[in-house]
Amino acid sequence: MQDIEAYFHSVRMYRLTVMVGLILFLFAVAILGIMVGPVSISPSTILHIFWMQIPHVGDSVMQTWPHSYTSIVMDVRLPRVLLGMLVGMGLAVSGCAMQGLFRNPMASPYVCGLSSGGAFGAALAVNLGLAYIFLPFFAFLFATLTVFFVYMISRVNNKVPTETLLLSGIALSSFFSALVSLMLYFADQQLERIVFWMMGGLWASTWDKVAVTLPLIVVAVPLFYVLSRELNAMLLGEENATDLGIKVESTKRIILVLTAFTVGACVAVSGVIGFVGLIIPHIARIFVGPDHKILIPASVFVGGIFLILTDTLARTIIMPAELPVGIITSLFGVPFFLYLLRKRKERMGW
Amino acid sequence: MQLSVSSLNFSFPTKVVLRDVSFSAHSGEVFGIVGPNGSGKTTLLRCLRLVLSPQGGAITLDDEDVMTWDRSRIARVFGVVPQSTTLTFPFSVFDVVMMGRIPHLGRFQREGAHDISIVRESMKLTSIDHLFERPISQLSGGELQRVIIARALAQEPRVLLLDEPTSQLDINHQFEVMKLVRSFAIEHNMVVIIISHNLNLSLRYCDRLLLLKDGGVHSCGASDEVLTPDNIREVYGVEAQLDYNKRIGAHQLTLIDAIERD
């Protein structure tokens, strides 16, 4: 039996190791994502191209590859890999916080009506004949509006019972899905755009989209992390958390707002990518346990890795065409998840 | 140290739960709250630590007005063992007890050596220090209850509130917990308030009792003066006999029969 202090430090070392491993893995997966495609580009070429981008220092590199490679890496694949990473991170961290908040393994950003609200916004933009540029904006707007609406409905005497929140989210989610179906039914010509958007995909990833998503993720992830102590205590029950000095109701509000913005940003640039928010936190939980102090950062990185990998698969599996990544995440992610669930069930606590 | 409650009232929108409850509990004694189901015991305990906001009345700890405190200050003074805790998540015993340090830590402050030593001390007092690495999902009922008590102790409370800590436990563990709680009151000079369903355990381990009936104070005083056959009949509708048991040095009740009411 080890001493408590030794245990405390060994836990910290284990977590540090996991995080370093995940960061390296993420880097490797990102390079892989940039390598493969209609033209394969070697890792050393990719690193050289990166090196070249640094002002002054980069001038010394001897270019030994076709000029077009630079543009493939910098203008096409890098923004796509980055966007995949950001969206994966955002969905995973939101799912993680939702599951903690609701103490419910089924919770995900989509349960609160975020996805169908966003889909409704996108369908509305298309139906109104608005320019493509408005589609993500509408998606974002309606995703966040839905969450606030769900929140307002569930509020009784300034408290928001978790069960009511979950139920009204599911109800509103179905309502918006019906509205989307209705619109699809009437929007015969625009159908393809909406359907593609609802399947979720990272095609047409541009630096502009990265620039929209990056600041939100960079701000939201540390904020979620700061709330990990609250989330841990709330896992033991809301009254327990209150007795440990936590302001439960305001914590709920903050988490909902953060999730709405994070998922809104993801949905706006990539459509409805299913299952990432649901399964990534569970996968992370299997390896690092229920403590949000490690679960949140681990989910963030596993989410990034997962979406880069699945998107790489989505755009290479039927080359030169590509599949919506949402199909791949469900098709490959779910069986993998079920396998893990079966194998390590006892460690998850759910 | 003295926790005083005066004229506390609380109602839910459709039901009055507490009416004009007054009492005071002192450090160095175990103060018990007894009464039938629905008499307002748990609500009273929730109002004491402002999980529910009382509608009128005052709560003071010595001369300080508890009702003006914020959540975090309340958590530094009141350690609570609630009726139920969700313990399905595989946090280690150490993790759960460490959560007791939350009210003492700044938002960006990490748990340090001082916190570890308090956690270790709390686990030792509750004899769970050998279990520190174990996931709580693998513990027995008695062990779990001690983990939650250790968490409350890690808050370094001046007031310890326990809501039926023995109701889920085997009889041997019931004794263990009551003895433990008694030692905190006496050796650590805490105000200890405990809700109990078990009248005989209350007679044995509580110095004074508050007997609630329909949200009001029926009687309050020394345990053997509160749980008299007359009071038991009035509050519970049960015929009982109170005898002094020399072997355990306390009064004990023998419950005879429910009284037919018309």
**Which CATH number characterizes residue B58's domain?**
3.40.50.300
Q: Do B91 and A240 touch (CB under 8 A)?
A: no
**Per-residue pLDDT tens digits for A11-48:** 899 999 999 999 999 999 999 999 998 888 888 889 88
Half-sphere exposure of residue B214: CA atoms within 13 angstroms, side-chain side: 2
Q: Which of A180 and B99 is assigned the larger pLDDT? A: B99
Q: In the block, which residue shows the tokens 């906001």?
A: B53
Instruction: Name the pLDDT band for A189 (thresholds 50, 70, 90).
Output: low
Q: Do A235 and B86 touch (CB under 8 A)?
A: yes
Write the CB contacts of A72 (distance below 8 Å, at least 6 apart in sequence): A37, A39, A41
Do the beta carbons of residue A320 and residue A110 sit within 8 Å? no
Residue to mutate among B45, B80, B86, B139, with most A CBs inside 10 A, is B86
Distance of alpha carbon B14 from alpha carbon A242, whole angstroms: 25
Count how many domains chain B has.
Answer: 1
Residues of chain A contacting residue B123, judged by C-beta atoms under 8 Å apart? 4
ipTM, 2 dp: 0.90
Instruction: Name the pLDDT band for A87 (thresholds 50, 70, 90).
Output: very high
Six token digits for residue A315: 């755009």
The three-class DSSP label of residue A63 is coil
Predicted local distance difference test score (pLDDT) of residue A349: 53
Q: In what order do the strands lie in the sheet with B64-65?
A: B15-26, B2-12, B58-61, B64-65
Distance of alpha carbon B225 from alpha carbon B219, whole angstroms: 9
Distance of alpha carbon A84 from alpha carbon A197, whole angstroms: 15
Q: Do B91 and A291 touch (CB under 8 A)?
A: yes
Q: Do B99 and A247 touch (CB under 8 A)?
A: no
Q: Do A240 and B85 touch (CB under 8 A)?
A: yes
Q: Do B85 and A237 touch (CB under 8 A)?
A: yes
The residue among A118, A98, A152 whose CA lies nearest residue A264 is A118
pLDDT at A339 over 90: no
Q: Which of A191 and A290 is assigned the larger pLDDT? A: A290
Percentage of chain A surpassing pLDDT 90? 28
* Residue A53 φ then ψ, to 5°: -75, -20
Predicted local distance difference test score (pLDDT) of residue B73: 94
Average pLDDT on B125-133 reads: 90
Q: Which of A286 and B222 is assigned the larger pLDDT? A: B222
CB atoms closer than 10 angstroms to residue A49: 22
**Per-residue pLDDT tens digits for A131-160:** 666 777 787 788 888 888 887 888 776 667
Q: Do B133 and A242 touch (CB under 8 A)?
A: no
Interchain CB contact of A158 with B (< 8 Å): no
Of A226, A233, A242, the CB nearest to B99: A233
CATH of domain A88-343: 1.10.3470.10
Distance of alpha carbon A274 from alpha carbon A119, whole angstroms: 12
For residue B11, the cross-strand partners are B16
Q: Do A7 and B130 touch (CB under 8 A)?
A: no
For the question of whether the overall pTM of this predicted structure is more than 0.90, the answer is: no
Q: Which of A37-41, A285-289, A317-321, B125-129 bottoms out in mean pLDDT, i.e. has the lowest?
A: A317-321
Do the beta carbons of residue B136 and residue B91 sit within 8 Å? yes
Average pLDDT on A205-232 reads: 90
The residue among A257, A141, A265 whose CA lies nearest residue A212 is A265
Which residues form the domain of B155? 2-258
Of A4, A7, A233, the CB nearest to B102: A233
For residue B194, the cross-strand partners are B32, B162
Interchain CB contact of A347 with B (< 8 Å): yes
Instruction: Name the pLDDT band for A218 (thresholds 50, 70, 90).
Output: very high
Predicted local distance difference test score (pLDDT) of residue B118: 94
Residue type, B167: S
CB atoms closer than 10 angstroms to residue B216: 14
Distance of alpha carbon B230 from alpha carbon B240, whole angstroms: 8
Q: Do B51 and A242 touch (CB under 8 A)?
A: yes
Q: What is the sign of the dihedral through the CA atoms of A11, A14, A16 and A19?
A: negative
Q: Which residues of B touch A (CB under 8 A)?
A: 46, 49, 51, 71-76, 78-80, 82, 84-91, 94-96, 99-100, 102-103, 105, 107-108, 113, 116, 119-120, 123, 129-130, 132-133, 137, 155
pLDDT at B75 over 90: yes
B202–chain A nearest CA distance, Å: 25
Average pLDDT on A331-338 reads: 78
Average pLDDT on B250-261 reads: 86
Residues of chain A contacting residue B75, judged by C-beta atoms under 8 Å apart? 243-245
Residue to mutate among A157, A243, A250, A292, with most B CBs inside 10 A, is A243
Predicted local distance difference test score (pLDDT) of residue B138: 86
Cis peptide before A320 (omega within 30 of 0): yes
Half-sphere exposure of residue B81: CA atoms within 13 angstroms, side-chain side: 28
A211–chain B nearest CA distance, Å: 29
Q: Do A4 and B116 touch (CB under 8 A)?
A: yes
**Per-residue pLDDT tens digits for B29-61:** 999 999 999 899 999 999 999 999 999 899 999
Q: B208-213 and B216-222 as β-strands: parallel, antiparallel, unpaired?
A: antiparallel
Predicted local distance difference test score (pLDDT) of residue B87: 72
Write the CB contacts of A44 (distance below 8 Å, at least 6 apart in sequence): none
Q: Do A236 and B133 touch (CB under 8 A)?
A: no
Predicted local distance difference test score (pLDDT) of residue A343: 67
